[in-house]
A and B are shown apart, each in its own frame.
Chain A
C-alpha cells in the first residue's frame, strides 16, 4: 500500500499500463482485420507517420533510404481512401487478413508519450494464397487520460524479401 501511494505522488497522471496498451493494439488490429479503415485512421494524430522499411534496411531512416512505405498524414489518409475505394485492384475484392500480436512491451514513457514495441504475424489470404508477414511494430503513442492516439507506427518486417508475399497492398 505505501508503495502504491508513493507511485501516485510521483506520477499524478497515471502512466499507461501494458494491459491498456495491449487492449488498444488488439482493438486497432481488429479494425484493420475488419477493414474498418476510417475508424482506424481516426486513431492517428494530425502529424502521424506510417512506415515500412525495405527488407534489407530494417533500421534505416526514410529520409535517406528507400522504404516500402513512408506515409505522412496526408498520404496515409489517401491510402485509406484508396483502399476503401473501388479502383485499388490489388485489394478489390479485399483480402482477408488476420493479425496476431504478442510480446507487447512498453520501452519508454515520457510525459504523454509512450514508446511501444510488439511482435506480429499477419496473414493475408487472397486468390487461394496465404502470405505470412512476420516482424515487429514500433509505436509512439500519445495519451490523454484514457484516450490513446498513434503518432508514429512502423512495421519492421523480418522477412528477408517480399518474395514469399509479393506485395504490400494492404495496411500491415
Chain B
C-alpha cells in the first residue's frame, strides 16, 4: 500500500487533533520512518556504566543493525558495527562481556576492542594497497553522550546530541543528579516484543489518561498497601513539550520513590534511610531541587524511541520497529551507584510492582497496545483522536499535549511525503 494523502489532522482553530490509523498500519510509512527518522535522529545506545571497564561490551540491536557498544583499551567508548570488514560476518557473537579483541570465525580476521584490524591469516597474499587501517571495523557515524547516556546517529551531518536533546536535558539532569557517585544500569535486561506499532508505545509511556483505568489493579494494590492521596497528579501535574518532538509529564503520585519519597508500604524500617537520602540531596542540590527530584514522578519521551520513566523506580526503555505491527523492546533499571544493598533490593521490588512484562501494570499496557493494533486493522480508515487539553493553558498528565508534540515532529520529519490534513484544507481554501 502506498502512502495516504494525510496522516495528521492538526486543526488548531477548532482544537482538534487526529491521527490517521494508516500511520500505524501502512508498510510505506515504516519505510519512510526508517529513512527519515531512524536514519537521521539520535538513537539511545546505552549507559556509560554498562561499559565501565576497558574491553567491556554490550551488543545492542537498533532495528536491523547490531552494534557493539564497547570501551576500548584506550578507554574510548565506540559504537562498532558488528560486521567484518572482509566479507561481512558478525565479529561479536556474545550479548555482553569483556574482550580484548573480536575475531570473525569465518576467515579469522581479528579486530581489537578499539576496532583496529590486528590479525589477518595469510596476509602475504595481498598487495601493498591492502590497508589494515582502512579495514578497521565500521562505526556509527556519530556517537555522543549526555550525562552518561550514549546515543548514536547514522546521519554524519546531524546537529550535536546536546542540541538535539533540547529541553530534554533538564529532565535527564533530574535523573543524573540523583547520586553524587553517578548512576548505573542494574544487571538484568527485560527484553520482550509487542505486536503493535512502535508509536503506540511512545504514546503509552507518558499517557496519564489511561493510568487509573488500564491499571486499576495496580492502584488497588497500592491502596491495599496503605497508599493515600491523589493517585496521579496531585500538587504537581503538568505536561511539557521540550522541543524536537521530546516531551515530558511531571506529577506527584501515590507510589513511593526510593529516591526519596517514603510511603507506608516501604515500612517503618526504611523511613530513616529515606530521610537521610533526602537530607543528602538537600545538602548537595538545595531544598527546592531536592524536593523536586525526591517527590515528583516524570515520564520522559526522547524522540523517537527512548523513554526514561522516573516513577516508582527508574526505567530506561528503548524500542525499535520490526514491522508496522511489531516492535522489540529493551528495558533496564537505572539506580544510584553505590546504593546500600538493602535499598537496592527495595528499589528493584518497587520497580517490579508496576514495570516490566511480569509487573502489575506493563502486561496490561502490552495487552492494550496489541488490542489497538488489531482495532486499526478492523477500522483502518478511521482517525484516532488526540485532542485532550488542546485549549488548556496548563496541560496536565491526563491530557495529550505530550503526544501532540511527538506527532508534530513526526509529521515535520516525514514531510513532504506525509502531509497534514489541516494544512491541505488551508491550502485548498487559499
A interface residues, Cβ below 8 angstroms from B: 52-57, 60, 62-70, 72, 75, 78-79, 82, 85, 87-91, 127, 160-169
In the docked arrangement, what's the CA distance between A63 and B70, Å?
27
In the docked arrangement, what's the CA distance between A168 and B355, Å?
12
Contacting pair A167 B363 (CB below 8 A)? yes
In the docked arrangement, what's the CA distance between A162 and B363, Å?
12
| With A88-B217, A127-B370, A163-B193: A70-B187 Cβ-Cβ less than 8 Å | no
Interface segment, one of B125-133, B150-158, B201-209, B340-348: B340-348
| With A66-B333, A169-B367: A54-B189 Cβ-Cβ less than 8 Å | yes
Interface string of B340-384 (1 = CB under 8 A from A): 010011001101110011101011101110100010000000000
The 22 listed contacts between A and B (C-beta, < 8 Å) are A53-B188, A54-B191, A55-B189, A57-B188, A60-B188, A63-B344, A65-B186, A66-B187, A66-B190, A66-B352, A66-B356, A67-B188, A68-B352, A68-B357, A70-B349, A70-B352, A75-B349, A88-B363, A161-B191, A162-B357, A167-B366, A169-B358
Query: How many residue pairs between the two chains, A and B, have CB atoms under 8 Å in the bound complex?
Result: 127
Q: Does B192 contact A (CB under 8 A)?
A: yes
Question: Which of A65, A72, A168 lies in contact with B188, CB distance below 8 A?
Answer: A65
B interface residues, Cβ below 8 angstroms from A: 95-96, 186-195, 214, 216-217, 220-221, 224, 328, 332-333, 341, 344-345, 348-349, 351-353, 356-358, 360, 362-364, 366-368, 370, 374
Tell me which residues across on chain B come within 8 A of A169, comparing CB atoms: 357-358, 363-364, 366-367
Tell me which residues across on chain B come within 8 A of A163, comparing CB atoms: 191-193, 328
Tell me which residues across on chain B come within 8 A of A56, comparing CB atoms: 95-96, 188-189, 191
Question: Which of A66, A165, A168 lies in contact with B189, CB distance below 8 A?
Answer: A66
> Which 4 pairs show the lowest CB-CB distances between chains A and B?
A66-B188, A169-B363, A161-B191, A162-B192
Q: Look across to chain B and name the residue whose beta carbon is closest to the beta carbon of A127.
A: B370
Tell me which residues across on chain B come within 8 A of A64, comparing CB atoms: 186-187, 341, 344-345, 348
Q: Look across to chain A and name the residue whose beta carbon is closest to the beta carbon of B195.
A: A166
Q: Look across to chain B and name the residue whose beta carbon is closest to the beta carbon of A161.
A: B191
In the docked arrangement, what's the CA distance between A85 and B333, Å?
29
Q: Look across to chain A and name the residue whose beta carbon is closest to the beta carbon of B368.
A: A89
| With A64-B345, A68-B358, A163-B328: A57-B187 Cβ-Cβ less than 8 Å | yes
In the docked arrangement, what's the CA distance between A90 and B351, Å?
19
Task: Please give the distance in Å from A74's CB to the nearest CB on chain B.
Answer: 8
| With A68-B357, A168-B358: A90-B192 Cβ-Cβ less than 8 Å | no
Contacting pair B221 A167 (CB below 8 A)? no
In the docked arrangement, what's the CA distance between A69 and B360, Å?
10
In the docked arrangement, what's the CA distance between A78 and B206, Å?
26
In the docked arrangement, what's the CA distance between A75 and B193, Å?
25
Interface centre among B186, B187, B341, B366 (most CB of A within 10 A): B187
Interface centre among A57, A89, A160, A163 (most CB of B within 10 A): A89
Q: Look across to chain B and name the residue whose beta carbon is closest to the beta carbon of A66.
A: B188
Q: Look across to chain A and name the residue whose beta carbon is closest to the beta carbon of B374.
A: A127
| With A63-B344, A82-B221, A89-B368: A166-B360 Cβ-Cβ less than 8 Å | no
Interface centre among A52, A70, A90 (most CB of B within 10 A): A90
